[in-house]
Amino acid sequence: MSLSDLVLSIADNKQMLGLRYAEWATRAPSLEADIAAAAMGLDDLGHSRVLLGCLEPLGEDPRGQERETDSGSLRSLPYFDEPWTEWAQFVAANAILDTAFTVMIEACVNGSVEVLQHRLRKMLMEERYHFLHGRSWLKSGINAEPLNRAWTEAIEWFGPPDGEVALLHREGKLSLGPKELQARLEEQLETKAPKVEVDWKGWDPVRRRSKPGAIDEHTFSMLRGLEEKKFAPTSAQSKEV
């Protein structure tokens, strides 16, 4: 594990967050919320691309060929494996997971690595609106289940007290370690996280998750451009062959 691995994890999670937001662009409780879902989706997809662009300057690109064929090689959290069926899932992801990614980006911007300091700063400005949106909907009250799940996955994603994020913090590359990241997330959301017991022995340090599994087949096909090809004219398809 390295800083590049962490940046790739943020990028993959933001890509999936953006896609899941976009799925709610016509299903949210109001027209304004529809538009916000679309706008936040676009933001997070853009952020993902910026993060991927940081891998080369960081000196190491951990993306392998397996990403083209194996959905299990993507580094997104289990929360994004399946499309959300309830608005409460959207809100919990928006308030807790999106903010968790933002506090990690803050830790990158305030750390010692120049390329992250410069390239990620603008994201923090855009994320302010995601945060206001998520926190406001969270205050209106949602089911405990998606909320607890989002908290658990956020804390797992920050990593163990003696893991790579803690090491990057000690080296100064990140301004916050796992404990500080959780405290910052709680401070931002003005609430305490539920008690989460993580069995770090079963935790995957590359995908930063404990639960096995991967994103659904349709979404993976879409990411690979295969869904798009279904709508291409027959002549265009035959030319490719």
Q: Which residues bind other proteins (CB under 8 A)?
A: 30, 32-33, 35-36, 38-40, 129-130, 132-133, 135-137, 139-140
Cβ closest to other proteins, residue 129 vs residue 200? 129
Q: What is the largest CA-CA distance in the chain?
A: 57
Q: Please state, in angstroms and rounded to a whole number, the distance separating the CA atoms of residues 62 and 55.
A: 8
Cβ closest to other proteins, residue 140 vs residue 235? 140
Give first-to-last CA distance, the chain, whole Å. Answer: 39
Task: Please state the closest distance from residue 39 (CB atom) to other proteins, in A.
Answer: 4
Cβ closest to other proteins, residue 35 vs residue 196? 35
Residue 86 main-chain phi, psi, to 5 deg: -130, 150
Task: Please state the closest distance from residue 35 (CB atom) to other proteins, in A.
Answer: 5
Nearest alpha-carbon partner for 106 in 183, 2, 52: 183
The beta-strand segments (E) located in 20-64 are: none
Task: Please state the closest distance from residue 134 (CB atom) to other proteins, in A.
Answer: 9
Task: Please state the closest distance from residue 130 (CB atom) to other proteins, in A.
Answer: 8
Cβ closest to other proteins, residue 71 vs residue 94? 94
Cβ closest to other proteins, residue 139 vs residue 170? 139
Position of tokens 């539920």? 194
Torsion of CA 147, 17, 227, 32, to 10 degrees: 90
**Residues 77, 153 contacting (CB under 8 angstroms):** yes
Task: Please state the closest distance from residue 18 (CB atom) to other proteins, in A.
Answer: 14
